[in-house]
Amino acid sequence: MAKQEEIRVPDIGDFNDVEVIEVLVAVGDTVTEEQSLITLESDKASLEVPAPRAGRVIELKLAIGDRVAEGAPLLVLEVDEAPAESVASAPASSSVATEILVPDIGDFDDVEVIEVLVAVGDTVVEEQSLITLESDKASLEVPAPRAGRVIELRLAIGDRVSEGALILLLEPAGGAVAAPAPPPAEAATAAVTPAPAEPARAVPRDAPLPAVEKQGFRRAHASPGVRRFARELGADLGRIDGSGPKGRVLKEDVKSWVKKTLSAGAPAVGPASGAGIPPIPEVDFSQFGDIERVDLPRIKRLTGPHLLRAWLNLPMVTHHDEADITAMEAFGKSLKAEAEQRGVRVTALVFIMKAVVDALRAYPQFNAALSVDGQQLIYKKYFNVGIAVDTPNGLVVPVIRGVDGKSLFDLSAELAELSGKARDGKLGPADMQGGCISISSLGGIGGTAFSPIVNAPEVAILGVTRSRMQPVWDGSAFIPRLMLPLDLTYDHRVIDGAAAARFCARLCQTLGDIRRLLL
CA nearest to 53, candidates 74, 78, 72: 78
Q: What is the pLDDT of residues 335-367, one digit of tens each?
A: 999 999 999 999 999 999 999 999 999 999 999
CA nearest to 200, candidates 182, 213, 181, 188: 213
Task: Check residue 430 and give its pLDDT.
Answer: 86
Q: What is the mean pLDDT of the segment spanning 511-516?
A: 94
Q: What is the mean pLDDT of the segment spanning 5-29?
A: 82
Residue 339 is classified by DSSP as H
Helices (H), 363-446: 408-423
Residue 219 has pLDDT above 80, yes or no: no
CA nearest to 357, candidates 221, 209, 510, 165: 510
Task: Check residue 18 and give its pLDDT.
Answer: 82
Q: What is the pLDDT of residues 91-122, one digit of tens each?
A: 443 457 888 998 877 656 788 888 888 899 88
User: CATH classification of 1-87, choosing from 3.40.50.740, 3.40.50.150, 2.40.50.180, 2.40.50.100?
Assistant: 2.40.50.100
Highest mean pLDDT among 1-10, 72-81, 422-431, 482-491: 482-491
Task: Check residue 382 and give its pLDDT.
Answer: 97
Residue 319 appears among annotated catalytic residues: no
- Of the candidate ranges 53-62, 167-176, 327-336, 412-421, the one whose mean pLDDT is the lowest: 167-176
Q: What is the pLDDT of residues 385-401, one digit of tens each?
A: 999 999 888 889 999 99
Residue 267 has pLDDT above 50, yes or no: no
- pLDDT interval class at 175 (50, 70, 90): low
- pLDDT interval class at 268 (50, 70, 90): very low
Residue 146 carries which side chain, given as an amino acid letter? R
Helix (H) or strand (E) holding 73: strand 73-80
- Whether 299 contacts 389, CB under 8 Å: no
The larger pLDDT score, comparing residue 444 to residue 265, is at 444
Fold of 299-518: Chloramphenicol Acetyltransferase (3.30.559)
Highest mean pLDDT among 46-55, 70-79, 207-216, 491-500: 491-500
Task: Check residue 86 and give its pLDDT.
Answer: 39
Q: What is the mean pLDDT of the segment spanning 311-328?
A: 95
Considering the segment(s) 98-175 as one domain, its CATH architecture is Beta Barrel (2.40)
Task: Check residue 121 and give its pLDDT.
Answer: 87
Pairing of strands 385-387, 437-441: parallel
From 306, 319, 320, 492, the catalytic residue: 492
Q: What is the pLDDT of residues 397-456, one digit of tens each?
A: 999 999 999 999 999 999 999 999 998 888 888 899 999 999 999 988 989 999 999 999
All CATH 3.30.559.10 domain ranges of the chain, comma separated, are 299-518
pTM value is: 0.50
Q: Alpha carbon of 3 to those of 33, 77, 336: distances in Å?
A: 16, 8, 94
CA nearest to 507, candidates 354, 350, 326, 330: 354
All CATH 2.40.50.100 domain ranges of the chain, comma separated, are 1-87, 98-175
Q: What is the pLDDT of residues 288-309, one digit of tens each?
A: 999 998 888 878 887 888 888 8
